[in-house]
Amino acid sequence: MEHQHIYDKQGKQICCSLEEKINKKTEHHSDDDGHDHDHSSEEKSTFQMFLPAIISFVLLLIAIGFDNYFTQNWFTGYIRIAWYVVAYIPVGFPVLKEAFESIKKGDVFSEFLLMSIATIGAFAIAEFPEGVAVMLFYAIGEIFQTLAVQRAKANIKTLLDQRPDEVTILENNVAKTIKASTAKIGDIIQLKAGEKLGLDGELLSDTASFNTAALTGESKPDTKAKGETVLAGMINLNSVCQVKVTVAYSDSKLSKILEMVQDATSKKAPTELFIRKFAKIYTPIVVALAVAICLLPIFFIENYQFNDWLYRALIFLVISCPCALVISIPLGYFGGIGAASKNGILFKGSNFLDVMASVQNVVMDKTGTMTEGVFKVQEVVFNSDFNKEDILKMVNALESQSTHPVATAIHQFVGDIDTSIVLQNVEEISGHGLKANVKGKELLVGNFKLMDKFSIAYDVDPSSIVYTLIAVAYDKKFVGYLTIADSIKEDAQITIDKLKALGIKTTMLSGDKNTVVQFVAQKLGITNAFGDLLPEDKVNKVKEIIAKNETVAFVGDGVNDAPVVALSSVGIAMGGLGSDATIETADVVIQDDKPSKIPLAINIGKQTKKIVWQNIILAFTVKAIVLVLGAGGLATMWEAVFADVGVALLAILNAVRIQRMKF
């Protein structure tokens, strides 16, 4: 299943001038190499952003002083007008330019046009101080919006700082520093204490401890042993270690994470899409109403004063500017995505924050999701007719063709693979196991459904044994079975308890034997559990839940979970043990495989949605009140400025709260 299909089910991106505006607001100030400037240059940039507003503010204060407190004989007529025009230009010209550019692109009724008409209209009726003040406060509001959005985006992009530009590799035991992007698979990286790893690889040193916070949000050190996988972005905590590069720079797990996060803001939540569509209809209507407020009273009022009604219409235009909605709402979702990424949870779009907020049923896989996915062979029960060691060597050789955790357990139990064993016609039977020919005879290794499929008679009752069973048949005869046990993750119980506290139903679906699944489900308190399921059975179970009009989140990690992940309302993948297929298909990725991140993701979604709707209600309520007062002549430009810029700033401050919340 391709990404496009996933995104289509939530709604395609709608491009408009608002998207361009937000993109402008979220641009980083970077040097030619693409690196962020240092702190001092950022401060300089911020000062430059405020400089036009400072100039206008000083000129406006002087002009108001000359008008009301320090009367000057020369400050009249054209000189007075020119002074206010000069005060207007630093903040007004950029807005007038944006309005012109928007009109050229076909977006006539933009907020820039509204502010341009309102302030030029104020000059036309000789309300010079108010004309400058409205544009000044609007410009200041825009700057604060820009800074707030940049901060939200910066929080999301902090992962960029985790990719070092250079790595030290060993060539003939000589250290050499090269660009990380030029490192090749097979290169040996020498990683000093405190350094960040630039590429994914295999640890060559005996042991090494790493800080994995960049990938998982967890600061707890993770100790790796020789041969284990280490990932780009991990920080070496102790002595010098060596890592063999196994994945190209552009294909590292961290690079994929960055792509996911950077793409996330382009998948809009339904609320965002609605506000965009609403703004495109709302603004022309407001302009028409403003014209009506100005001109219609001429037919109904005897002492009609054009300047008075034009002033009311201009107030109406200022109040109606939708910037509080169109900026604070995306900013709220940016904040939600950023807060999630800091906790090791990656949302592939703000639309999935909304879906997570409304999840009613969490359906989960067992192995690797609620359990560790680390199996150990407990017992080998073979018929005495067969040579135990020979059969185990054949089983080990066949299981080496699989990436399933069971295969790893068998390999650890049996030892090195016997290279003298030749496998022919190897076939993986989905949901059943493996089949091959060894020494001209058929070897079957899998669950007891595989035995049934090939009509292999056996004298064992699988339901009477709690452990996971691996059945073996050779030369059409039942050999026996291996029992394999897996342990429940330490935070699995907390996960289920928190989901129940949120009023969310829980269901476990697994291909493992039903007795094991029921045992785990009963121990954790999971509401419904089903075992012995093939991939298509999982799909059917999820379809049954969806048919009840329930919003379903499916959590899985295996390749066979990909179809269910794609089918569910929101698919969640375990990013550590998870297969690439499942991670690619999923809408949300949990980087450290901790199931306790599931209720955390739901909570972040709920808080984000709550803040977004608080902003919508605040903006509409205040604007509606001041619109009525303005149309009735009871509000001035100053109230209009508060209704526009003031509400926008309040909404922005509320939106950035989510980044400071402790979940």
Which residues carry out catalysis?
Answer: 365
Half-sphere exposure of 627 (CA within 13 A, CB side): 17
State the CB neighbour count (10 A cutoff) for residue 221: 14
Distance of CA 450 to the CA centre of its chain: 40
The single residue listed with the structure tokens 């009613």 is: 360
Q: ∠ CA(303), CA(308), CA(310), 5° rounding?
A: 120
Give the integer Cα–Cα distance in Å for 652 and 439.
72
Angle at 46 between CA 112 and CA 131, to 5 degrees: 35
413: buried, middle or exposed (CB in 10 Å: 19+, 13-18, 0-12)? middle
Q: Which helix (H) or strand (E) holds 505?
A: strand 505-509
Phi-psi region of 431 (alpha: psi -120 to 50; beta: other; left: phi over 0): left
Please, which contacts does 181-189 make with residues 24 or more away whose CB atoms are closer than 8 Å?
181/249, 181/250, 182/249, 183/245, 183/249, 184/245, 184/248, 185/245, 185/246, 185/247, 185/248, 186/244, 186/245, 187/244, 187/245, 188/242, 188/243, 188/244, 188/245, 189/242, 189/243, 189/244, 189/245
> In whole angstroms, how far apart are CA 51 and each of 31, 40, 139, 648?
22, 16, 11, 21
The helix (H) or strand (E) run that includes residue 552 is strand 552-556
Region of 194 on the Ramachandran plot (φ > 0 left; ψ -120 to 50 alpha; else beta): left
Q: How far is CA 183 from CA 19, 176, 227, 249, 414, in A?
A: 37, 11, 20, 7, 36
- The CA-based angle 381-387-392, given to 5 degrees, is 65
CA distance 230 to 196: 11
Cα separation, 140 vs 189, in Å, equals 49
Long-range contacts of 356-359 (CB under 8 A, 24+ apart): 356/553, 356/570, 356/588, 356/601, 356/602, 356/604, 356/605, 356/606, 357/602, 357/605, 357/606, 357/608, 357/609, 358/551, 359/504, 359/551, 359/552, 359/553, 359/569, 359/570, 359/602, 359/605
Task: Indicate the pairing of strand 528-530 with strand 505-509.
Answer: parallel
Give me the torsion for CA of 543, 546, 548, 553, rounded to 10°. Answer: 130
Reported as type and span, the H/E element at residue 132 is: helix 128-156
- CA gap 154, 331 in Å, rounded: 12
